[in-house]
């Protein structure tokens, strides 16, 4: 295998698609949106990006078939703008790998003459969030008005710690390569998978790219998470006996 290779599966004809990235990250917000869009709309696997920079592992599917760690790009017809949606189970494993894998996503976008890039993620607030604002960062200030109209908030020098990983690099490297790139970050506690933050990001993205989508699956996930939280709160109140035995043998 080469250091990095794109395995093409289909070559759909897309009309001025926007690249949308949702890899694992804070609150899994980006990944939730990306997977939701792929599941709800008319989508088709376009390519897999394999790389020695992804963790050396396979995932096992429902048919027990093992799939090499990869990022996948689906073509999605939303009714509005066509999308190329990047998702997967992993970020690249080291600094150099993050740069190279992100360049591969941009290479794939360039294959389809895409010029707009949206990376999706969460921004951790450290406390439980009621209203999930969506914060934006852009490759060029000219992009702000259109996004603000769609509901994105722009806050000076936020997030303060910058944007780490592929979501950040898509804007940084994308801007240098001439893409119009924006990162849309849903506010989230940072402690839990957050389908509500994902809904907020999805709403903004749809407003910007002229599509609407059923949100029931995200609502269901949100309810599940609420149950998880309430169970965690119960556990906190009841000090658990046991769990010791295993440790001694370990």
Write the CB contacts of 246 (distance below 8 Å, at least 6 apart in sequence): none
Indicate whether 207 belongs to the interface with its own copies (CB under 8 A): no
**Cβ 160 to its own copies, closest distance in Å?**
8
- Give the tokens for residue 87: 């998702």
Binding residues for its own copies, rule CB under 8 A, total 76
- Give the tokens for residue 240: 């658990």
C-alpha to C-alpha distance for 138 and 155, rounded to whole angstroms = 11
Q: Contact with its own copies (CB under 8 A): which of 33, 38, 69, 117?
A: 69
The full DSSP string for 105-117 is HHHHHHHTT--EE
Strands 116-124 and 18-22: parallel
**Cβ closest to its own copies, residue 78 vs residue 102:** 102
Q: Treating both helix axes as pointing N-terminal to C-terminal, what angle do 95-111 and 166-176 enclose, rounded to 10 degrees?
A: 60
Indicate whether 118 belongs to the interface with its own copies (CB under 8 A): no
Residues 228-247 close enough to bind its own copies by CB under 8 A: 229, 232-233, 235-236, 245-247
C-alpha to C-alpha distance for 72 and 188, rounded to whole angstroms = 25
**Cβ closest to its own copies, residue 172 vs residue 206:** 172
Dihedral angle of Cα 216, 225, 202, 124, to the nearest 10 degrees: 170
**Cβ 244 to its own copies, closest distance in Å?**
9
**Cβ 181 to its own copies, closest distance in Å?**
8
Indicate whether 250 belongs to the interface with its own copies (CB under 8 A): yes
**Cβ closest to its own copies, residue 111 vs residue 158:** 158
What phi, psi does 54 have (nearest 5°)? -80, 155
**Cβ closest to its own copies, residue 4 vs residue 14:** 4
**Cβ closest to its own copies, residue 80 vs residue 191:** 191
**31 exposure class (CB count in 10 Å sphere: 0-12, 13-18, 19+):** buried
**Cβ 168 to its own copies, closest distance in Å?**
4
Q: Contact with its own copies (CB under 8 A): which of 63, 130, 131, 216?
A: 63
Residues 140-199 close enough to bind its own copies by CB under 8 A: 140-141, 144, 154-159, 162-166, 168-169, 171-173, 175-176, 183, 189, 191-192
Q: How many Å separate Cα 159 from the centre of its chain?
A: 17
Indicate whether 97 belongs to the interface with its own copies (CB under 8 A): yes
**Cβ closest to its own copies, residue 39 vs residue 96:** 96
Q: Are 78 and 118 in contact (CB under 8 A)?
A: no
């Amino acid at each position: 295998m080469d250091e990095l290779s794109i395995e093409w599966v289909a070559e759909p004809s897309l009309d001025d698609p926007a690249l949308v990235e949702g890899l694992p990250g804070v609150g899994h917000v980006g990944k939730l949106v990306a997977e939701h869009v792929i599941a709800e709309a008319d989508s088709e696997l376009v390519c897999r990006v394999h790389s020695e920079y992804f963790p050396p592992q396979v995932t096992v599917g429902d048919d027990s078939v093992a799939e090499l760690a990869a990022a996948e790009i689906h073509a999605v017809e939303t009714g509005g703008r066509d999308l190329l949606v990047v998702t997967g189970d992993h970020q690249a494993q080291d600094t150099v790998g993050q740069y190279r894998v992100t360049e591969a996503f941009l290479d794939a976008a360039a294959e389809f003459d895409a010029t707009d890039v949206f990376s999706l993620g969460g921004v951790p607030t450290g406390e439980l969030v009621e209203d999930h604002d969506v914060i934006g960062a852009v490759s060029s200030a000219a992009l702000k008005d259109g996004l603000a109209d769609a509901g994105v908030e722009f806050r000076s020098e936020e997030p303060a710690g910058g944007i780490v990983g592929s979501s950040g690099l898509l804007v940084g490297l994308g801007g240098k390569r001439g893409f119009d790139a924006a990162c849309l970050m849903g506010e989230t506690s940072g402690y839990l998978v957050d389908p509500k933050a994902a809904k907020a990001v999805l709403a903004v993205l749809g407003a910007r790219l002229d599509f609407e989508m059923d949100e029931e699956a995200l609502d269901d996930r949100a309810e599940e998470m609420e149950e998880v939280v309430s169970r965690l709160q119960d556990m906190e109140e009841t000090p658990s006996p046991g769990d010791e035995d295993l440790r001694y043998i370990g």
